[in-house]
Amino acid sequence: MALQAALLPSTLSVPKKGSLAAAVKDTAFLSVPQKKLQAASLSVRTQVATAPVATPGSSTATKDGKKTVRQGVVVITGASSGLGLAAAKALAETGKWHVVMACRDFLKTAKAAKGAGMADGSYTIMHLDLASLDSVRQFVDNFRRAGMPLDSLVCNAAIYRPTARTPTFTADGYEMSVGVNHLGHFLLARLLLDDLQRSDYPSRRLIILGSITGNTNTLAGNIPPKAGLGDLRGLAGGLRGQNGSAMIDGSESFDGAKAYKDSKICNMLTMQELHRRYHEDTGITFASLYPGCIATTGLFREHIPLFRLLFPPFQKFITKGFVSEAESGKRLAQVVSDPSLTKSGVYWSWNKDSASFENQLSQEASDPEKARKLWEISEKLVGLA
Ligand code: NDP
Ligand code: PMR
Protein backbone atom coordinates (compact mmCIF):
# COMPACT_ATOMS: atom_id res chain seq x y z
CA MET A 1 0.00 0.00 0.00
CA ALA A 2 2.85 2.32 0.96
CA LEU A 3 4.47 1.47 -2.34
CA GLN A 4 1.33 2.22 -4.28
CA ALA A 5 0.89 5.51 -2.43
CA ALA A 6 4.42 6.50 -3.30
CA LEU A 7 4.02 5.51 -6.93
CA LEU A 8 0.62 6.94 -7.72
CA PRO A 9 0.95 10.56 -8.81
CA SER A 10 -2.61 11.42 -7.76
CA THR A 11 -1.55 10.99 -4.13
CA LEU A 12 1.32 13.42 -4.44
CA SER A 13 1.21 17.10 -4.02
CA VAL A 14 4.57 18.23 -2.63
CA PRO A 15 6.51 20.00 -5.36
CA LYS A 16 10.26 19.58 -5.04
CA LYS A 17 11.69 23.04 -4.60
CA GLY A 18 14.76 24.20 -6.39
CA SER A 19 15.26 21.78 -9.24
CA LEU A 20 13.27 23.70 -11.83
CA ALA A 21 14.60 27.01 -10.64
CA ALA A 22 18.12 25.65 -10.90
CA ALA A 23 17.43 24.41 -14.41
CA VAL A 24 16.08 27.81 -15.42
CA LYS A 25 19.10 29.49 -13.85
CA ASP A 26 21.47 27.23 -15.78
CA THR A 27 19.62 27.83 -19.01
CA ALA A 28 19.57 31.57 -18.52
CA PHE A 29 23.28 31.58 -17.82
CA LEU A 30 23.96 29.68 -20.97
CA SER A 31 21.58 31.45 -23.27
CA VAL A 32 22.97 34.93 -22.59
CA PRO A 33 26.70 34.63 -23.36
CA GLN A 34 26.32 33.00 -26.76
CA LYS A 35 29.91 33.87 -27.64
CA LYS A 36 31.24 32.03 -24.61
CA LEU A 37 29.20 29.04 -25.56
CA GLN A 38 30.37 29.01 -29.12
CA ALA A 39 33.93 29.35 -27.92
CA ALA A 40 33.42 26.43 -25.57
CA SER A 41 31.82 24.40 -28.33
CA LEU A 42 34.70 25.27 -30.63
CA SER A 43 37.22 24.15 -28.07
CA VAL A 44 35.59 20.73 -28.05
CA ARG A 45 35.76 20.76 -31.82
CA THR A 46 39.42 21.65 -31.64
CA GLN A 47 39.91 18.43 -29.75
CA VAL A 48 38.02 16.66 -32.53
CA ALA A 49 40.55 17.95 -35.03
CA THR A 50 43.53 16.82 -32.98
CA ALA A 51 42.20 13.49 -31.81
CA PRO A 52 43.11 10.36 -33.79
CA VAL A 53 39.71 9.92 -35.42
CA ALA A 54 38.30 10.85 -38.80
CA THR A 55 36.88 14.36 -39.21
CA PRO A 56 33.17 14.06 -38.40
CA GLY A 57 31.26 13.12 -41.49
CA SER A 58 34.27 12.77 -43.78
CA SER A 59 34.98 9.70 -45.89
CA THR A 60 37.87 7.49 -44.96
CA ALA A 61 40.01 5.56 -47.39
CA THR A 62 41.58 2.15 -46.85
CA LYS A 63 45.20 1.37 -47.77
CA ASP A 64 44.21 0.02 -51.16
CA GLY A 65 42.46 3.32 -51.89
CA LYS A 66 38.90 1.98 -51.67
CA LYS A 67 36.37 4.21 -49.93
CA THR A 68 34.68 2.84 -46.82
CA VAL A 69 31.41 4.10 -45.38
CA ARG A 70 32.29 7.35 -43.66
CA GLN A 71 31.72 8.03 -39.98
CA GLY A 72 28.09 8.96 -39.41
CA VAL A 73 26.99 12.09 -37.58
CA VAL A 74 24.12 11.77 -35.13
CA VAL A 75 22.47 14.62 -33.23
CA ILE A 76 21.00 13.58 -29.88
CA THR A 77 18.94 16.06 -27.88
CA GLY A 78 19.15 15.82 -24.10
CA ALA A 79 22.39 13.86 -24.17
CA SER A 80 23.56 15.31 -20.85
CA SER A 81 22.03 12.50 -18.80
CA GLY A 82 20.08 9.25 -18.73
CA LEU A 83 19.15 7.58 -21.97
CA GLY A 84 20.60 10.30 -24.22
CA LEU A 85 24.00 10.14 -22.56
CA ALA A 86 24.05 6.33 -22.56
CA ALA A 87 23.15 6.21 -26.27
CA ALA A 88 25.74 8.89 -27.07
CA LYS A 89 28.39 6.82 -25.30
CA ALA A 90 27.30 3.57 -26.97
CA LEU A 91 27.40 5.14 -30.45
CA ALA A 92 30.65 7.05 -29.93
CA GLU A 93 32.38 3.90 -28.64
CA THR A 94 31.78 2.09 -31.91
CA GLY A 95 34.00 4.64 -33.68
CA LYS A 96 31.41 4.67 -36.46
CA TRP A 97 29.53 7.69 -35.15
CA HIS A 98 30.36 11.23 -34.20
CA VAL A 99 27.80 12.41 -31.67
CA VAL A 100 26.50 15.95 -31.50
CA MET A 101 25.18 16.35 -27.99
CA ALA A 102 22.44 18.99 -28.28
CA CYS A 103 21.93 20.21 -24.73
CA ARG A 104 20.76 23.20 -22.74
CA ASP A 105 23.54 23.04 -20.15
CA PHE A 106 26.97 23.01 -21.76
CA LEU A 107 29.06 22.50 -18.63
CA LYS A 108 26.84 19.73 -17.29
CA THR A 109 27.09 17.96 -20.64
CA ALA A 110 30.87 18.36 -20.83
CA LYS A 111 31.19 16.85 -17.35
CA ALA A 112 28.75 14.06 -18.16
CA ALA A 113 30.61 13.10 -21.36
CA LYS A 114 33.94 13.02 -19.52
CA GLY A 115 32.41 11.17 -16.58
CA ALA A 116 30.98 8.56 -18.95
CA GLY A 117 34.45 8.08 -20.43
CA MET A 118 33.60 9.33 -23.91
CA ALA A 119 36.78 9.87 -25.89
CA ASP A 120 37.80 13.39 -26.85
CA GLY A 121 37.01 13.87 -30.50
CA SER A 122 34.12 11.45 -30.51
CA TYR A 123 31.55 14.14 -29.72
CA THR A 124 30.68 17.81 -30.06
CA ILE A 125 28.50 19.70 -27.62
CA MET A 126 26.13 22.30 -29.03
CA HIS A 127 23.68 24.46 -27.16
CA LEU A 128 19.98 23.74 -27.59
CA ASP A 129 17.19 24.84 -25.29
CA LEU A 130 13.99 23.24 -26.50
CA ALA A 131 11.99 25.61 -24.32
CA SER A 132 12.75 28.39 -26.81
CA LEU A 133 11.92 28.23 -30.51
CA ASP A 134 14.60 30.88 -31.14
CA SER A 135 17.14 28.57 -29.55
CA VAL A 136 15.98 25.72 -31.79
CA ARG A 137 16.52 27.89 -34.88
CA GLN A 138 19.87 29.08 -33.53
CA PHE A 139 20.94 25.48 -32.98
CA VAL A 140 20.10 24.59 -36.58
CA ASP A 141 22.16 27.58 -37.80
CA ASN A 142 25.10 26.64 -35.58
CA PHE A 143 24.95 23.03 -36.67
CA ARG A 144 24.95 24.01 -40.34
CA ARG A 145 27.83 26.42 -39.80
CA ALA A 146 29.85 23.61 -38.24
CA GLY A 147 29.81 21.99 -41.68
CA MET A 148 28.96 18.45 -40.62
CA PRO A 149 26.47 16.32 -42.50
CA LEU A 150 23.41 15.06 -40.60
CA ASP A 151 22.82 11.33 -40.87
CA SER A 152 20.62 10.66 -37.86
CA LEU A 153 18.56 12.81 -35.50
CA VAL A 154 17.35 11.59 -32.12
CA CYS A 155 14.66 13.66 -30.40
CA ASN A 156 15.27 12.38 -26.89
CA ALA A 157 15.15 15.28 -24.42
CA ALA A 158 12.14 15.56 -22.14
CA ILE A 159 10.89 16.95 -18.90
CA TYR A 160 8.39 15.37 -16.54
CA ARG A 161 6.66 17.49 -13.89
CA PRO A 162 4.60 14.92 -11.99
CA THR A 163 3.90 16.98 -8.89
CA ALA A 164 3.16 20.27 -10.65
CA ARG A 165 -0.34 21.55 -10.11
CA THR A 166 0.22 24.78 -12.00
CA PRO A 167 1.77 25.12 -15.44
CA THR A 168 5.03 26.80 -16.33
CA PHE A 169 5.66 28.15 -19.81
CA THR A 170 8.32 28.16 -22.51
CA ALA A 171 9.86 31.36 -23.87
CA ASP A 172 7.11 31.33 -26.51
CA GLY A 173 4.38 30.96 -23.91
CA TYR A 174 3.47 27.30 -24.35
CA GLU A 175 2.97 24.89 -21.46
CA MET A 176 6.45 23.58 -20.64
CA SER A 177 6.09 19.76 -20.96
CA VAL A 178 4.38 19.85 -24.34
CA GLY A 179 6.48 22.87 -25.36
CA VAL A 180 9.79 21.09 -24.74
CA ASN A 181 8.91 17.45 -25.43
CA HIS A 182 6.75 18.03 -28.50
CA LEU A 183 6.81 21.56 -29.97
CA GLY A 184 10.56 22.19 -29.65
CA HIS A 185 11.28 18.80 -31.22
CA PHE A 186 8.61 19.31 -33.88
CA LEU A 187 10.35 22.47 -35.09
CA LEU A 188 13.81 20.89 -34.83
CA ALA A 189 12.76 17.82 -36.81
CA ARG A 190 11.06 19.86 -39.49
CA LEU A 191 14.05 22.16 -39.96
CA LEU A 192 16.61 19.35 -39.97
CA LEU A 193 14.67 17.22 -42.46
CA ASP A 194 16.43 19.17 -45.23
CA ASP A 195 19.81 18.28 -43.76
CA LEU A 196 18.89 14.61 -43.45
CA GLN A 197 17.74 14.66 -47.04
CA ARG A 198 21.07 16.10 -48.19
CA SER A 199 23.06 13.36 -46.44
CA ASP A 200 24.62 10.65 -48.58
CA TYR A 201 24.75 8.20 -45.67
CA PRO A 202 23.34 4.75 -46.53
CA SER A 203 20.60 4.80 -43.87
CA ARG A 204 19.32 8.13 -42.60
CA ARG A 205 17.05 8.07 -39.57
CA LEU A 206 14.88 10.39 -37.52
CA ILE A 207 13.93 8.96 -34.15
CA ILE A 208 11.51 10.37 -31.58
CA LEU A 209 11.23 8.86 -28.11
CA GLY A 210 7.82 7.54 -27.19
CA SER A 211 6.70 5.67 -24.08
CA ILE A 212 4.49 2.93 -22.74
CA THR A 213 2.79 5.45 -20.44
CA GLY A 214 1.43 7.32 -23.47
CA ASN A 215 -0.18 4.12 -24.75
CA THR A 216 -3.46 3.20 -23.11
CA ASN A 217 -3.37 -0.31 -24.62
CA THR A 218 -0.97 -1.30 -21.79
CA LEU A 219 -1.28 -1.69 -18.02
CA ALA A 220 1.30 1.07 -17.49
CA GLY A 221 -0.72 3.35 -19.78
CA ASN A 222 -3.78 2.86 -17.61
CA ILE A 223 -2.26 4.19 -14.40
CA PRO A 224 -3.96 7.52 -13.72
CA PRO A 225 -3.80 10.16 -14.98
CA LYS A 226 -4.25 8.57 -18.41
CA ALA A 227 -2.92 10.19 -21.56
CA GLY A 228 -5.54 11.65 -23.89
CA LEU A 229 -5.50 14.52 -26.38
CA GLY A 230 -9.27 14.86 -26.77
CA ASP A 231 -10.08 17.06 -29.75
CA LEU A 232 -6.85 19.08 -29.29
CA ARG A 233 -8.79 22.22 -28.44
CA GLY A 234 -6.29 23.32 -25.76
CA LEU A 235 -3.39 22.97 -28.18
CA ALA A 236 -5.30 24.82 -30.86
CA GLY A 237 -5.89 27.57 -28.29
CA GLY A 238 -2.12 27.87 -27.77
CA LEU A 239 -1.68 26.05 -24.44
CA ARG A 240 -1.48 29.43 -22.78
CA GLY A 241 -3.24 28.59 -19.58
CA GLN A 242 -4.47 32.11 -18.96
CA ASN A 243 -7.00 32.77 -21.71
CA GLY A 244 -7.52 29.10 -22.33
CA SER A 245 -6.18 25.77 -21.21
CA ALA A 246 -2.60 24.68 -20.64
CA MET A 247 -3.66 21.09 -21.39
CA ILE A 248 -3.90 19.73 -24.93
CA ASP A 249 -7.42 18.39 -24.38
CA GLY A 250 -8.60 21.77 -23.11
CA SER A 251 -9.10 20.69 -19.46
CA GLU A 252 -9.45 23.56 -17.08
CA SER A 253 -7.18 22.09 -14.43
CA PHE A 254 -3.50 21.47 -15.03
CA ASP A 255 -1.99 18.02 -14.43
CA GLY A 256 1.78 17.79 -14.89
CA ALA A 257 1.86 13.99 -15.15
CA LYS A 258 -0.85 13.97 -17.81
CA ALA A 259 0.87 16.78 -19.73
CA TYR A 260 4.00 14.58 -20.03
CA LYS A 261 2.02 11.52 -21.16
CA ASP A 262 0.11 13.67 -23.67
CA SER A 263 3.41 14.96 -25.01
CA LYS A 264 4.52 11.36 -25.58
CA ILE A 265 1.38 10.68 -27.65
CA CYS A 266 2.34 13.77 -29.69
CA ASN A 267 5.86 12.35 -30.17
CA MET A 268 4.52 9.02 -31.43
CA LEU A 269 1.90 10.63 -33.69
CA THR A 270 4.52 13.01 -35.12
CA MET A 271 6.82 10.13 -36.03
CA GLN A 272 4.01 8.44 -37.96
CA GLU A 273 2.96 11.63 -39.70
CA LEU A 274 6.59 12.23 -40.76
CA HIS A 275 6.62 8.69 -42.11
CA ARG A 276 3.41 9.22 -44.10
CA ARG A 277 4.54 12.56 -45.51
CA TYR A 278 8.23 11.97 -46.20
CA HIS A 279 9.36 8.36 -46.13
CA GLU A 280 8.49 7.40 -49.68
CA ASP A 281 10.01 10.50 -51.26
CA THR A 282 13.13 10.78 -49.11
CA GLY A 283 13.92 7.22 -48.02
CA ILE A 284 14.49 8.51 -44.48
CA THR A 285 13.57 6.00 -41.76
CA PHE A 286 11.24 7.45 -39.12
CA ALA A 287 10.95 5.51 -35.86
CA SER A 288 9.85 5.74 -32.26
CA LEU A 289 10.55 3.47 -29.32
CA TYR A 290 9.85 2.52 -25.75
CA PRO A 291 13.32 1.73 -24.38
CA GLY A 292 12.07 0.04 -21.19
CA CYS A 293 11.57 1.57 -17.76
CA ILE A 294 14.85 3.36 -16.96
CA ALA A 295 13.77 4.08 -13.42
CA THR A 296 17.04 5.68 -12.29
CA THR A 297 17.28 8.63 -14.69
CA GLY A 298 16.90 12.34 -14.08
CA LEU A 299 13.42 12.21 -15.59
CA PHE A 300 12.04 11.64 -12.08
CA ARG A 301 14.02 14.47 -10.49
CA GLU A 302 10.86 16.44 -9.64
CA HIS A 303 9.10 13.45 -8.09
CA ILE A 304 8.90 13.15 -4.29
CA PRO A 305 11.88 11.41 -2.63
CA LEU A 306 9.82 8.37 -1.60
CA PHE A 307 8.88 7.75 -5.23
CA ARG A 308 12.49 8.01 -6.34
CA LEU A 309 13.49 5.54 -3.64
CA LEU A 310 10.80 2.94 -4.38
CA PHE A 311 10.39 3.26 -8.14
CA PRO A 312 13.59 1.39 -9.20
CA PRO A 313 13.02 -1.69 -6.96
CA PHE A 314 9.31 -1.65 -7.86
CA GLN A 315 10.17 -1.81 -11.56
CA LYS A 316 13.00 -4.31 -11.03
CA PHE A 317 11.26 -6.83 -8.83
CA ILE A 318 7.53 -6.32 -9.33
CA THR A 319 6.76 -5.21 -12.87
CA LYS A 320 10.12 -6.51 -14.18
CA GLY A 321 10.02 -3.63 -16.67
CA PHE A 322 13.27 -2.14 -15.35
CA VAL A 323 16.17 -1.53 -17.69
CA SER A 324 19.55 -0.03 -16.82
CA GLU A 325 20.71 3.22 -18.41
CA ALA A 326 23.50 1.36 -20.21
CA GLU A 327 21.11 -1.24 -21.65
CA SER A 328 18.60 1.40 -22.73
CA GLY A 329 21.45 3.30 -24.40
CA LYS A 330 22.32 0.20 -26.42
CA ARG A 331 18.68 -0.12 -27.47
CA LEU A 332 18.50 3.45 -28.69
CA ALA A 333 21.87 3.04 -30.42
CA GLN A 334 20.41 0.03 -32.21
CA VAL A 335 17.52 2.10 -33.54
CA VAL A 336 20.07 4.66 -34.79
CA SER A 337 22.44 2.29 -36.50
CA ASP A 338 21.44 -1.37 -36.62
CA PRO A 339 21.14 -2.43 -40.28
CA SER A 340 18.19 -4.66 -39.37
CA LEU A 341 16.10 -1.77 -37.99
CA THR A 342 15.62 0.24 -41.17
CA LYS A 343 11.84 -0.16 -41.37
CA SER A 344 10.08 3.19 -41.21
CA GLY A 345 6.98 4.10 -39.22
CA VAL A 346 7.74 1.60 -36.46
CA TYR A 347 7.44 1.88 -32.67
CA TRP A 348 10.18 -0.42 -31.35
CA SER A 349 10.17 -2.24 -28.04
CA TRP A 350 12.27 -5.03 -26.51
CA ASN A 351 11.23 -8.34 -24.97
CA LYS A 352 12.62 -9.96 -21.81
CA ASP A 353 15.60 -11.33 -23.74
CA SER A 354 16.32 -7.80 -24.95
CA ALA A 355 15.34 -8.63 -28.53
CA SER A 356 13.68 -5.83 -30.48
CA PHE A 357 10.17 -6.17 -31.88
CA GLU A 358 7.62 -3.93 -33.63
CA ASN A 359 5.15 -2.93 -30.94
CA GLN A 360 1.50 -1.91 -31.31
CA LEU A 361 0.53 1.64 -30.46
CA SER A 362 -2.77 2.44 -28.76
CA GLN A 363 -5.68 3.49 -30.93
CA GLU A 364 -5.18 7.16 -30.10
CA ALA A 365 -1.39 7.06 -30.56
CA SER A 366 -1.90 5.63 -34.06
CA ASP A 367 -4.89 7.67 -35.20
CA PRO A 368 -3.94 9.21 -38.60
CA GLU A 369 -6.63 11.88 -38.45
CA LYS A 370 -5.39 13.04 -35.05
CA ALA A 371 -1.81 12.97 -36.31
CA ARG A 372 -2.76 15.21 -39.22
CA LYS A 373 -4.60 17.66 -36.98
CA LEU A 374 -1.72 17.68 -34.48
CA TRP A 375 0.70 18.37 -37.34
CA GLU A 376 -1.32 21.30 -38.66
CA ILE A 377 -1.80 22.94 -35.26
CA SER A 378 1.85 22.39 -34.32
CA GLU A 379 3.01 23.99 -37.58
CA LYS A 380 1.10 27.12 -36.65
CA LEU A 381 2.41 27.18 -33.08
CA VAL A 382 6.06 26.93 -34.14
CA GLY A 383 5.70 29.47 -36.95
CA LEU A 384 5.94 27.13 -39.93
CA ALA A 385 2.45 27.85 -41.23
P1 NDP B 1 16.69 12.51 -18.22
O2 NDP B 1 16.03 13.52 -17.36
O3 NDP B 1 17.86 11.76 -17.68
O4 NDP B 1 17.15 13.20 -19.58
C5 NDP B 1 16.39 14.18 -20.18
C6 NDP B 1 17.28 15.11 -20.96
O7 NDP B 1 16.48 16.13 -21.54
C8 NDP B 1 18.34 15.80 -20.12
O9 NDP B 1 19.53 15.80 -20.84
C10 NDP B 1 17.81 17.21 -19.99
O11 NDP B 1 18.80 18.21 -19.86
C12 NDP B 1 17.14 17.36 -21.34
N13 NDP B 1 16.24 18.51 -21.37
C14 NDP B 1 15.23 18.82 -20.53
N15 NDP B 1 14.70 19.99 -20.85
C16 NDP B 1 15.39 20.46 -21.92
C17 NDP B 1 15.33 21.64 -22.70
N18 NDP B 1 14.48 22.61 -22.42
N19 NDP B 1 16.18 21.77 -23.73
C20 NDP B 1 17.10 20.81 -24.00
N21 NDP B 1 17.20 19.69 -23.28
C22 NDP B 1 16.37 19.53 -22.25
O23 NDP B 1 15.54 11.51 -18.69
P24 NDP B 1 15.56 10.14 -19.53
O25 NDP B 1 16.91 9.86 -20.00
O26 NDP B 1 14.83 9.15 -18.74
O27 NDP B 1 14.62 10.55 -20.74
C28 NDP B 1 15.04 10.53 -22.07
C29 NDP B 1 13.87 10.19 -22.97
O30 NDP B 1 13.43 8.87 -22.71
C31 NDP B 1 12.66 11.09 -22.80
O32 NDP B 1 12.13 11.41 -24.06
C33 NDP B 1 11.67 10.21 -22.04
O34 NDP B 1 10.35 10.57 -22.33
C35 NDP B 1 12.01 8.86 -22.62
N36 NDP B 1 11.59 7.74 -21.81
C37 NDP B 1 12.13 7.56 -20.56
C38 NDP B 1 11.72 6.48 -19.80
C39 NDP B 1 12.26 6.24 -18.44
O40 NDP B 1 11.83 5.27 -17.82
N41 NDP B 1 13.17 7.06 -17.92
C42 NDP B 1 10.74 5.52 -20.31
C43 NDP B 1 10.24 5.83 -21.62
C44 NDP B 1 10.67 6.89 -22.34
P45 NDP B 1 19.39 18.68 -18.43
O46 NDP B 1 20.43 17.66 -18.12
O47 NDP B 1 19.95 20.02 -18.73
O48 NDP B 1 18.26 18.70 -17.49
MG1 PMR C 1 4.49 2.58 -14.01
C2 PMR C 1 3.30 -3.38 -16.06
C3 PMR C 1 4.10 -2.71 -15.62
C4 PMR C 1 4.54 -1.30 -15.61
C5 PMR C 1 5.47 -0.73 -16.41
C6 PMR C 1 6.26 -1.39 -17.51
C7 PMR C 1 5.58 0.64 -16.03
C8 PMR C 1 6.43 1.56 -16.64
N9 PMR C 1 4.72 0.88 -14.98
C10 PMR C 1 4.04 -0.31 -14.70
C11 PMR C 1 3.08 -0.51 -13.74
C12 PMR C 1 2.69 0.40 -12.75
N13 PMR C 1 3.17 1.68 -12.65
C14 PMR C 1 1.76 0.17 -11.67
C15 PMR C 1 1.01 -1.13 -11.43
C16 PMR C 1 1.69 1.33 -10.93
C17 PMR C 1 0.82 1.60 -9.69
C18 PMR C 1 1.52 1.29 -8.46
C19 PMR C 1 2.58 2.27 -11.56
C20 PMR C 1 2.79 3.57 -11.10
C21 PMR C 1 3.61 4.48 -11.76
C22 PMR C 1 3.82 5.86 -11.40
C23 PMR C 1 3.25 6.60 -10.25
N24 PMR C 1 4.35 4.21 -12.91
C25 PMR C 1 4.95 5.34 -13.25
C26 PMR C 1 4.66 6.36 -12.36
C27 PMR C 1 5.35 7.53 -12.80
O28 PMR C 1 5.36 8.64 -12.29
C29 PMR C 1 6.06 7.20 -14.09
C30 PMR C 1 5.38 7.96 -15.18
O31 PMR C 1 4.22 7.78 -15.46
O32 PMR C 1 6.12 8.81 -15.84
C33 PMR C 1 5.43 9.48 -16.89
C34 PMR C 1 5.82 5.73 -14.28
C35 PMR C 1 6.26 4.82 -15.23
N36 PMR C 1 5.86 3.51 -15.25
C37 PMR C 1 6.51 2.87 -16.28
C38 PMR C 1 7.36 3.83 -16.93
C39 PMR C 1 8.24 3.52 -18.11
C40 PMR C 1 7.20 5.01 -16.28
C41 PMR C 1 7.93 6.30 -16.57
C42 PMR C 1 8.51 6.76 -17.73
C43 PMR C 1 7.80 7.22 -18.95
O44 PMR C 1 6.71 6.86 -19.31
O45 PMR C 1 8.45 7.95 -19.64
Answer whether residue 171 shows pLDDT above 90.
Answer: yes
Question: Do residues 274 and 286 touch, judged by C-beta distance below 8 A?
Answer: yes
Q: What confidence score (pLDDT) does residue 13 get?
A: 26
Of ligand 1's atoms, which has the minimum distance to the CA of residue 212? 43
Of the pLDDT bands very low, low, confident and very high (cuts 50, 70, 90), residue 372 is: very high
Q: Is 108 close to ligand 1, i.e. is its CB under 6 Å away?
A: yes
Q: Is 104 close to ligand 1, i.e. is its CB under 6 Å away?
A: yes
Q: What confidence score (pLDDT) does residue 229 get?
A: 98
The reply to whether 327 falls in a domain is yes
The reply to whether 186 falls in a domain is yes
Answer whether residue 80 shows pLDDT above 60.
Answer: yes
Answer whether residue 261 shows pLDDT above 70.
Answer: yes
Of ligand 2's atoms, which has the minimum distance to the CA of residue 307? 23
Answer whether residue 23 shows pLDDT above 60.
Answer: no
pLDDT over 70 percentage in the chain: 82
Ligand number nearest to the C-alpha of 321: 2
SS3 track for the chain: CHHHHHHCHHHCCCCCCCHHHHHHHHHHHHHCCHHHHHHHHHHHHHHHHHCCCCCCCCCEECCCCCEECCCEEEEEECCCCHHHHHHHHHHHHCCCEEEEEEECCHHHHHHHHHHCCCCCCCEEEEECCCCCHHHHHHHHHHHHHHCCCCCEEEECCCCCCCCCCCCCECCCCCEHHHHHHHHHHHHHHHHHHHHHHHCCCCCCEEEEECCHHHCCCCCHHHCCCCCCCCCCHHHHCCCCCCCCCCCCCCCCCCCHHHHHHHHHHHHHHHHHHHHHHHHHHHCCEEEEECCCECCCCHHHCCCCHHHHHHHHHHHHHHHCCECCHHHHHHHHHHHHHCCCCCCCCEEEEECCCCCEEECCCCCHHHCHHHHHHHHHHHHHHCCCC
Q: What confidence score (pLDDT) does residue 306 get?
A: 98
Q: How confident is the model over 309-327, as pLDDT tens digits?
A: 999 999 999 999 999 999 9
Q: Is 78 close to ligand 1, i.e. is its CB under 6 Å away?
A: yes
CATH number of the domain that residue 187 is part of: 3.40.50.720
Q: How confident is the model over 296-309, as pLDDT tens digits?
A: 999 999 999 999 99
Q: What confidence score (pLDDT) does residue 244 get?
A: 84
Q: Give the residue, by CA position, lying nearest to ligand 1 atom 31.
A: 158
The reply to whether 139 falls in a domain is yes
Q: Catalytic residue numbers?
A: 260
The reply to whether 53 falls in a domain is no
Of the pLDDT bands very low, low, confident and very high (cuts 50, 70, 90), residue 69 is: confident
Question: Do residues 271 and 287 touch, judged by C-beta distance below 8 A?
Answer: yes
Answer whether residue 339 shows pLDDT above 50.
Answer: yes
Of ligand 2's atoms, which has the minimum distance to the CA of residue 8? 23
The reply to whether 25 falls in a domain is no
Q: How far is the CA of 128 from the centre of ligand 1 (A)?
A: 13
The reply to whether 314 falls in a domain is yes
Task: Tally the domains of the chain.
Answer: 1
Q: Give the residue, by CA position, lying nearest to ligand 2 atom 18.
A: 4
Q: What confidence score (pLDDT) does residue 375 get?
A: 98
Lowest mean pLDDT among 205-214, 242-251, 347-356: 242-251
Question: Do residues 139 and 102 touch, judged by C-beta distance below 8 A?
Answer: yes
Q: Is 130 close to ligand 1, i.e. is its CB under 6 Å away?
A: yes
Q: Give the residue, by CA position, lying nearest to ligand 2 atom 1.
A: 220
Region 95-108 average pLDDT: 98
Q: How far is the CA of 241 from the centre of ligand 1 (A)?
A: 24
Region 239-255 average pLDDT: 90
Q: What confidence score (pLDDT) does residue 38 get?
A: 36
Q: What is the mean pLDDT of the chain?
A: 87
pTM to 2 decimals? 0.89
Of the pLDDT bands very low, low, confident and very high (cuts 50, 70, 90), residue 27 is: very low
Structural domain harbouring 271? 72-161+177-215+267-360
Region 372-385 average pLDDT: 98
Q: What confidence score (pLDDT) does residue 68 get?
A: 73
Answer whether residue 217 shows pLDDT above 70.
Answer: yes
Q: What confidence score (pLDDT) does residue 247 get?
A: 97
Answer whether residue 53 shows pLDDT above 90.
Answer: no
The reply to whether 148 falls in a domain is yes
Answer whether residue 204 shows pLDDT above 80.
Answer: yes
The reply to whether 51 falls in a domain is no
Q: How far is the CA of 207 from the centre of ligand 1 (A)?
A: 14
Of ligand 2's atoms, which has the minimum distance to the CA of residue 214? 44
d(CA 177, CA 161) in angstroms, rounded, equals 7
Helix 256-274 vs helix 368-381: crossing angle, to nearest 10: 100
Q: Which residues' Cβ are closer than 6 Å to ligand 2?
A: 4, 7-9, 160, 162, 211-213, 219-220, 223, 260-261, 293, 319, 321
Q: What confidence score (pLDDT) does residue 64 get?
A: 59
Ligand number nearest to the C-alpha of 177: 1
Among 76, 156, 308, the mutation site with the greatest number of ligand 1 atoms within 8 A of its Cβ is 156
Q: How confident is the model over 138-163, as pLDDT tens digits?
A: 999 999 999 999 999 999 999 999 99
Of ligand 1's atoms, which has the minimum distance to the CA of residue 78? 9
Among 299, 322, 331, 332, the mutation site with the greatest number of ligand 1 atoms within 8 A of its Cβ is 299
